[in-house]
Amino acid sequence: MATTLSSRWTPFYKFVIPPLVLGGIGTSAVVAYLHPEPQRMPPGLRADQGWLLLAGATVVVATILWWALRRLMRVELDDDELIISNYRTEIRVPLSNVARIGGPSWSSPPRYTLTFEEPTDLGRTVAFIPPITWTLGRMKERDEVVELRAAWEAARSAKP
């Protein structure tokens, strides 16, 4: 039976947060363009230029979200294979193809990155967020990640 390594919140982070954030900033840019009068701007900018500031922020935030979330996948451990899905394509990758398990990142929630020796159909690296535990400390690694690391070490030692 497969062990789910990624959080059930992964689709929310990948598909819900970006439209909400970008929609909010983009809507603010449109409102600032259509109604520049009530805008208070930083020194040196006219009220009718406020929408440019927000449009630029939309592009910057979209770039950051794309960079951070494009590799976020659903990951499961099935014996000596990983089942990886980007919610359109699902692939199986042998654990022996994993060159490195990186993480946790300092982002919130923390992410782990799997780097493969050989590129897969979903790329050379994928990221996942393990199931989220609400604690004050970040010191303890999730049981699912501990299981992944142990299975990976066993697969690497069995590799000829």
Residue 108 DSSP code: S
- Tokens standing for 101? 């398990």
- Tokens standing for 28? 């603010």
- Examine the domain organization and report whether 81 and 61 are in the same domain: no
> What CATH number does the domain containing 83 carry?
2.30.29
Over residues 32-51, the pLDDT tens digits come to: 888 877 667 677 777 677 78
Sheet holding 3-4, edge to edge: 3-4, 74-78, 81-85, 90-94
- Which one has a higher pLDDT value, 34 or 63? 63
- Examine the domain organization and report whether 22 and 61 are in the same domain: yes
Residue 13 lies in a domain: yes
Residue 143 lies in a domain: yes
Residue 107 lies in a domain: yes
- Examine the domain organization and report whether 95 and 27 are in the same domain: no
- Examine the domain organization and report whether 64 and 109 are in the same domain: no
Residue 2 lies in a domain: no
- Examine the domain organization and report whether 61 and 85 are in the same domain: no
Q: Which domain holds residue 139?
A: 74-158
- Examine the domain organization and report whether 65 and 117 are in the same domain: no
Does the pLDDT value for residue 76 go beyond 90? Answer: yes
- Examine the domain organization and report whether 86 and 149 are in the same domain: yes
- Examine the domain organization and report whether 53 and 83 are in the same domain: no
Instruction: Indicate the SS3 state at residue 101.
Output: strand
Q: Residue 112 class from Cβ within 10 Å (0-12 exposed, 13-18 middle, 19+ buried)?
A: buried
- Examine the domain organization and report whether 64 and 128 are in the same domain: no
Averaged pLDDT, 76-102:
93
Instruction: Please state, rounded to an integer, the average pLDDT across all residues of the chain.
Output: 86
Q: Quick one: CA torsion of 139, 94, 125, 110, rounded to 10 degrees?
A: -20
Instruction: Sort strands 74-78 and 81-85 into parallel, antiparallel or unpaired.
Output: antiparallel
Residue 93 lies in a domain: yes
Domains in the chain, number: 2
Averaged pLDDT, 66-89:
92
Residue 122 lies in a domain: yes
CB atoms within 10 A of CB 160: 3
Residue 3 lies in a domain: no
Residues 98, 149 contacting (CB under 8 angstroms): no
